Chains A and B, each alone.
Chain A
Amino acid sequence: MMDTLLDVEDLWVRFPSRQGVFDAVRGISFTLGRERLGIVGESGSGKSMTGRAILRLIRPPGIVEAKQISLGGVDLMQKTEKEMRAVRGQRISMVMQDPKFSLNPVMTIGDQIIEAYRQHNRASKTEAYAKALEMLEAVSIRDADRVMRAYPHEMSGGMGQRIMIAMMLIPNPEILIADEPTSALDVSVQRQVLDIMDKLVKDRGMGLIFISHDLNLVADFCDRVLIMYAGRIVEICEADKLNEAKHPYTRGLLNSLPRLDAPRDHLEVLKRDPAWAQAPSVSGRI
Chain B
Amino acid sequence: MSMLDIDALNVWFGSGRDRVDAVRAATFSVAKGESFGLVGESGSGKSTILRAISGLAPHWSGQMVVEGTPLTKVRPKAFYKTVQMVFQDPYASLHPRHSVDQVLGETLHLHGFSDIDARVVKLLDDVGLGQKFRFRYPHQLSGGQRQRVAIARALAPEPELLLLDEPTSALDVSVQAEILNLLVDLRRDRGLTYVMVSHDLSVVGHMCERLAVMKDGAIVEIMGVETLRKMEAKHPYSQSLLAASV
Contact = CB atoms under 8 A, between A and B. Distances in A.
B171 to A, nearest CB: 9
Contact of A258 (B42, B175, B180, B241): B180
Contacts, number: 73
A267 B175 CA distance: 11
Q: How many interface residues does chain A have, given as a range?
A: 20 to 34
A145 interface: no
B173 to A, nearest CB: 5
Contacts of A20: none
A257 B41 contact: no
Contacts of B240: 188
Interface stretch (B15-23, B146-154, B195-203): B195-203
Contacts of B176: 256
A267 B206 contact: yes
Contacts of B190: none
B228 interface: yes
B90 to A, nearest CB: 13
A41 B240 CA distance: 29
A269 interface: yes
A33 interface: no
A258 B181 CA distance: 11
Interface in A169-217: 186-191, 213-215
A13 to B, nearest CB: 20
Q: Which of B202, B207, B225 has the most CB of A within 10 A?
A: B202
A187 B202 contact: no
Interface in B163-197: 172-178, 180-181, 184
B55 interface: no
B244 A260 contact: no
Q: Which of A187, A215, A265, A268 has the most CB of B within 10 A?
A: A187
B229 interface: yes
B72 interface: no
A190 B229 contact: no
Contact of A253 (B173, B181, B206): B173
Given A42-B172, A263-B229, A269-B181, A257 B202 contact: yes
A16 interface: no
B205 interface: yes
A270 interface: yes
Contacts of A267: 177, 180-181, 206
13 contacts: A42-B172, A186-B41, A188-B241, A256-B176, A257-B202, A258-B180, A258-B202, A258-B205, A259-B202, A260-B202, A266-B184, A269-B181, A270-B174
